[in-house]
């Protein structure tokens, strides 16, 4: 079995799965599931870190930067100003590291990207030296604009956050993959291992998954299934691994 690398901002990662830290029932379940996923990039909402006044209870105490690439995100920002403020706070908390997941949301119900503010914030942050991985709609023109600005990864949503609907408009995702030169990582909407496999078959460079794992009946097993579904291997071996990934969920 062979596996190539995901390259983000010049760094190689053996796993194409990125995971979040929210929505788990407790820290123990989160740790076990993240470890089972094999993910090397773990995203953490800056607002969650900021609210931890007691150092002993910080989320970074159990998701170590020595083991994982911590990807701070600006979830909860609804304006350019808020996103830029969160980004700078995240960089300060993580000792000056510039990798960032930018999110500027339209409203708290749909959690869809607010694209005019997203583009504006991306321009500001790239100028300030951030390596921006950007959550966005699957809109071709917007994605091309974000690449031109200098974002290091385009992260279009497959479907609304937490919906588990899978890739709603694969033709739009395909057009983005065929057009941009930076990694395309599906962010939001993945519900099961087969959805992640479809993303890989389209040619995506990776997927970011949180809800589908954290809210599964068996998060640990779901994390393992997602890991297997994203292994980039030769075609003769792929169907057997996909079948095992599905089996893990039964």
Could you give the residue numbers annotated as active site?
Answer: 101
**For helices 238-248 and 219-229, angle between their N-to-C axes, nearest 10 degrees:** 170
Q: Are 176 and 140 in contact (CB under 8 A)?
A: yes
- Residues 180 and 145: their CA atoms lie apart, in Å, by 10
Query: Can you name the residues that pair with 20 across neighbouring β-strands?
Result: 43
Query: Can you name the residues that pair with 207 across neighbouring β-strands?
Result: 17, 186
Burial of 96 (0-12, 13-18, 19+ CB in 10 A): exposed
> What's the gap between Cα 77 and its chain centre?
17
Q: Are 91 and 98 in contact (CB under 8 A)?
A: yes
Helix or strand (DSSP H, E) at 212: helix 211-214
Eight-state DSSP code of residue 5: -
Tokens representing 175 are 């057009």
Q: Are 226 and 181 in contact (CB under 8 A)?
A: no
Tokens representing 246 are 């599905």
Tokens representing 178 are 């065929």
Tokens representing 177 are 């993959």
């Amino acid at each position: 079995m062979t596996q190539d690398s995901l390259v983000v901002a010049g760094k190689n990662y053996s796993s194409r799965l990125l995971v979040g830290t929210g929505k788990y029932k407790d820290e123990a379940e989160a740790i076990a599931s993240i470890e089972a996923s094999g993910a090397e990039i773990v995203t953490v909402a800056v607002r969650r870190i900021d609210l931890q006044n007691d150092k002993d209870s910080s989320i970074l105490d159990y998701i170590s930067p020595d083991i994982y690439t911590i990807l701070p995100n600006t979830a909860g920002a609804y304006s350019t100003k808020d996103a830029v403020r969160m980004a700078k706070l995240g960089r300060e908390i993580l000792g000056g590291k510039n990798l960032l997941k930018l999110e500027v949301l339209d409203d708290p119900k749909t959690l869809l990207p607010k694209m005019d503010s997203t583009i504006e914030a991306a321009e500001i942050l790239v100028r300030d030296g951030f390596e921006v991985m950007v959550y966005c709609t699957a809109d071709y023109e917007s994605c091309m604009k974000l690449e031109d600005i200098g974002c290091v990864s385009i992260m279009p949503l497959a479907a609304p956050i937490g919906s588990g609907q899978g890739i709603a408009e694969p033709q739009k995702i395909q057009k983005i993959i065929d057009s941009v030169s930076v990694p395309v990582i599906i962010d939001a909407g993945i519900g099961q291992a087969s959805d992640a496999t479809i993303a890989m078959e389209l040619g995506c460079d990776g997927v970011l998954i949180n809800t589908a794992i954290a809210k599964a009946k068996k998060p640990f097993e779901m994390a393992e299934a997602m890991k297997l579904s994203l292994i980039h291997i030769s075609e003769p071996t792929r169907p057997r691994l996909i079948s095992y990934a599905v089996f893990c969920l039964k």
